[in-house]
Structure 1
C-alpha cells in the first residue's frame, strides 16, 4: 500500500489531523511537487493544510475535507509507485472523483465508479477526469453507437478520438473516420483559398489537434496519406458504407435532420459510431432544426444506443470555462 499509517490525532479546535506515512522518500518528493505546488493545489481546492514532516504528511482540516485530501494523496502516491508521473491534470482528476455527487442506484454512473478506466494510445495514457467521463468512455468501448452530449470543454470529442486510436492500434477496427459539419460559427468567412482540403481543414482542426496528442507525427501523416485515418466534412459521407471503422461525428448539433439520418445509416459491419454535440451551440440558420435534437428524441428508447450527458461540472479546461457555462445556463432559465 502507498501509506504506512493514516491516523487522526486529537481534536485541535474544530479541526483534526491525519498523519500519513510514505515509505519511499524519493516518491514523496515527486508527490509534493516542485516547491510543494501539488500540496498547494490540494490545500486550495479542499481548504486544508498539509505539513511535511520527514517522510510523513500531516493533513489538518475538517473531517470531510481532511479525509478527501488523504484519499487524494494516497491515490497520487499509488500512481507514482506504478512508475507514472503526477501532473496537474492527475490532481484535478482525483479531486473531482472525490467531489462527485452520489449516483442514483442502478444508474450508469454508479456502475462505472470504483474501477480504473484507461485509454492506451501511442503517445500517452488517457484517463477520464470525472465520473461522467468515465461512464462515457465505458460506453464507447461497449456500444456500437454512442452519443456524448454536453457543453464545450467536457472532453466529448477528445475522449472519443482517444478510444478510436486505442481500438485502431489494437486491431479492433481497420480505420478511423472523423467528421463534422462545415458550418460557420456565427461568422461569414468568405471564400477560402486553396483546394478542397485547404478549404475544409480549418473546420477540422480540432480533430487534427486531438490526433496529434495520441499519435507520433510521422505515423499520423502516413496513416492520413494511406486513408487509414480520414478527416472529412459531413457532406462527404453520403453514399458510403463505413465498415470495420471507428467513426466520430463532432459538433453534431450543426447537422440537419436529413444529414444526421444520412450519417447514422452509414454504420456498417464491425464499425462503431460516436456522435458528440452541444445543444447550446447550434449554428444552423434560423428555422432549421438540429439533427442532434431529433436523433436524441427518436433514438433514446433503443436499448443498444447509449446517451451520455455532461454538465459544467465536467469541464476540464480552465476553471473559468465552467463558471462561464453556468452563468449562461442560469441566464437561459425562465425567471
Structure 2
C-alpha cells in the first residue's frame, strides 16, 4: 500500500460486519489501494477497523468514501472497481435520496442516481454522466457529445428502457447513420436488414445488456423496439417514443434537420456523437456541429459534454484519447 506521512490523527473507521468489510477492501485490498493512490493516503486494517493516515482533508475524504461504499454493501449492492473509481471521481459527493421528477417522469434514485432495467441497475460513474442522465429525464431533447467510451449511448439506451418499462413511452427507436457503408452496402450478402445490421450492432449490444433475450426478440418482432439506419426515419412522426440517434457526427445538416423534426407528442429524443470521429466526405459539414450552433439557446434542449476523464472503459482508452487530444491541440 502507498506510504503517507500523517499530518494529523488518523481517521479510524469501524465496520461491524466482517464479511462486508472483506468486500469493501476488495480482492487483495484492491479497493483500498485505489483510494490510497488517488488521495495519497495510507489505509491500515486491524480487525474490523480501518485507519486512514495522511493529510487531514485527504484522510477525511477517504473516510467518507469508505463509509459510502460500506453503506452500498449494506444495501445489498456490490462494490466493483468501477464503483470505487466513480466515487473517487465524484469526490465522494452525496446524492439526494428520494424521487426527482422531470416533466412528470419519475427518476429512479437510490444512494446514487440509478437507472433500473429488466436485467441490471445502471449508475452514472462521473459527474458529467450524472448530469447527462438527469438531463435525459428533464428534457424532451438532449445531446450527449464527447469521445468514445464515455457512456453516451449506453446510458441513453438504459434510460429509454427504463422509461419503456415504466410505461412512459410506448416504444424505443434507435438509429445511426450508415456512413461507413456507402457503396459497399450493395456488396454485402443478404437482404437490407442483413446489410445494415452490422452497423447497428452497438445498439443491439446495449439492449442485450438491459433486456432478457426472449423479451427483446419479441419486442423487436412487434416493432415496439426498432433499430434502423437514419435514412429510414424520413417521412415519419415519432410519437410516444424514446428516440436515440447515435454517431450523430456522421449525419449531414439536412439529415439532422430531418431527424430532429420527427419528434412527436409524448416523445423524448437523445442525440449522441463524437466531434473527433467524423466520417463524412471532405467538405460535407457535420449536422451535429450545426445543431450545436443553432439550438444551444433554445430552452428545454440540453447539451451535455464529456471528456477523456469520463471514459469508463479500460483506463488505457482514456490515455489514448488524451494523447490524440494533445496532438490535435499541438497542431491547432
Q: TM > 0.5 between the two?
A: yes
RMSD, matched Cα: 2.2
The correspondence for 1:192, drawn from 188, 193, 196, is 188
Q: 1:328 aligns with which of 300, 320, 324?
A: 324
1:253 aligns with 2:249: yes
Q: 1:220 to 1:18 in 2, by over 3 A?
A: same
Is residue 216 of structure 1 aligned with residue 212 of structure 2? yes
Partners of 1:161 and 1:211 within 8 A in 2: yes
Residues 69-104 of structure 1, C-alpha deviations (whole Å, 9 max, x = no match): 21211111010111111111111111111189xxxx
From 9, 16, 39, the equivalent of 1:23 is 16
SS in 1 for 2:172: strand
Displacement over 3 Å in runs of 4+: 11-16, 185-190
Deviations 1:156-201 (A, max 9, x none): 0000000000000000000000000001189968721111111111
SS at match of 1:98: coil
Task: Report the equivalent of 2:107.
Answer: none
- Give the aligned partner of residue 107 of structure 1: none
Question: 5+ residue gaps in structure 2?
Answer: 94-109
Change in 2 beyond 3 A, CA 1:64/1:255: same
Paired residues in the alignment total 312
Change (3 A) 1:99 1:73: closer
1:320 is displaced (CA, Å) by 1.6
SS at match of 2:282: coil
| 1:85 counterpart = 2:78 | yes
Q: Kindly report which structure 2 residues correspond to 1:165-204, keeping only aligned pairs within 5 A, or say none.
A: 165-184=161-180, 191-204=187-200
Q: Which residue of 2 aligns with 1:241?
A: 237
Using the alignment, how far apart are the partners of 1:82 and 1:125 within structure 2? 13
From 24, 28, 34, the counterpart of 1:35: 28
Secondary structure in 1 matching 2:36: helix
Change (3 A) 1:188 1:60: farther
Query: CA separation in 2, counterparts of 1:249 and 1:306?
Result: 15
* Contact 2:6 2:54 survives alignment (8 Å): no
Pair 1:330–1:295, CA change in 2 (3 A): same
1:287 correspondence with 2:283 = yes
1:61 and 2:48 correspond: no
Deviations 1:8-32 (A, max 9, x none): xxx9664652111112222112211
Q: In the TM superposition, what whole-angstrom CA distance separates every residue of 1:22-51 from its partner, at most 9, and x where no partner exists?
A: 122221122112332222222233332211
2:153 is equivalent to residue 139 of structure 1: no
Matched, 1:46 2:39: yes
Q: What SS does structure 2 have at the residue aligned with 1:138?
A: helix
Retained in 1: the 8 A contact 2:52–2:62?
yes
After superposition, the Cα gap between the structure-2 partners of 1:327 and 1:186, relative to the gap in structure 1 and judged at 3 Å, is farther
1:154 partnered with 2:150: yes
- Report the secondary structure of 1:247's partner residue: strand
User: Quick one: distance in 2 between partners of 1:187 and 1:223?
Assistant: 31
Secondary structure of the structure 1 residue equivalent to 2:10: strand
**Equivalent pair of 1:143/1:304 in contact (CA under 8 Å):** yes
Compared CA separation, residues 186 and 294, structure 1 to 2 (3 A): same
1:305 aligns with 2:301: yes
How far, CA to CA, are the matches of 2:151 and 2:60 in structure 1?
A: 28
The TM-score, its normalising length taken from structure 2, stands at: 0.89
Could you say if the C-alpha distance between residues 200 and 30 of structure 1 is closer, same or farther in structure 2, counting changes exceeding 3 Å?
Answer: same
User: Residue 3 of structure 1 corresponds to which residue in structure 2?
Assistant: none
Contact 2:6 2:55 in 1 (8 A): no
Residue 72 (str. 1) matches residue 35 (str. 2): no
